[in-house]
């Protein structure tokens, strides 16, 4: 059983992701903003993080950068899941340390295959 941290300020999105992940046997941790996401990542060391971009305060790009550049958490794969679907957003997300970038709304099978892919790498 893997532990996946969802960092998203939308209760609707968080609920949907949690529903999908628990159905597939994953344990879910939740943070409603980037700052809490960074704190939770360091405290809990989840197996993977699903990161929204547009959030109040610390945004997803900033949180991704903090997590991927911290010695304690840099091994954790981060998948950005955002409504922003510009090529520049994807490039920027990867530059911050994200392993992948999905655009909302994400189909369940697509989400699960990307998660599986990154769980077994490294």
pLDDT digits (tens, 9 = 90+) for 10-67: 999 999 999 999 999 999 999 999 999 999 999 999 999 999 999 999 999 999 999 9
The pLDDT of residue 121 = 55
Contact between residue 68 and residue 51 where contact means Cβ atoms under 8 Å apart: no
Q: How many domains does the chain have?
A: 1
Tokens of 49: 């993080």
Instruction: Specify the pTM.
Output: 0.96
Span 71-117, pLDDT tens digits? 999 999 999 999 999 999 999 999 999 999 999 999 999 999 999 99
* Angle, helix 108-119 to helix 11-23, in steps of 10 degrees: 70
∠40-51-27 over CA atoms, to 5°? 60
Range of the domain at 81: 3-119
CATH of the domain at 102: 3.40.50.2300
């Amino acid at each position: 059983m893997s532990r996946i941290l969802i960092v998203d300020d939308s209760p609707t999105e968080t609920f949907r992701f949690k529903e999908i992940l628990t159905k597939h046997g994953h344990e879910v941790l939740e943070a409603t903003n980037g700052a809490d996401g960074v704190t939770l990542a360091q405290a809990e060391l989840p197996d993977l993080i699903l990161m929204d971009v547009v959030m109040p305060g610390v945004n997803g790009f900033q949180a991704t950068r903090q997590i991927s550049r911290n010695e304690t958490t840099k091994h954790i794969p981060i998948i950005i899941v955002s409504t922003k679907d510009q090529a520049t957003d994807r490039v920027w997300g990867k530059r911050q340390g994200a392993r992948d970038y999905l655009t909302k709304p994400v189909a369940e099978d697509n989400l699960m295959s990307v998660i599986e892919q990154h769980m077994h790498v490294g």
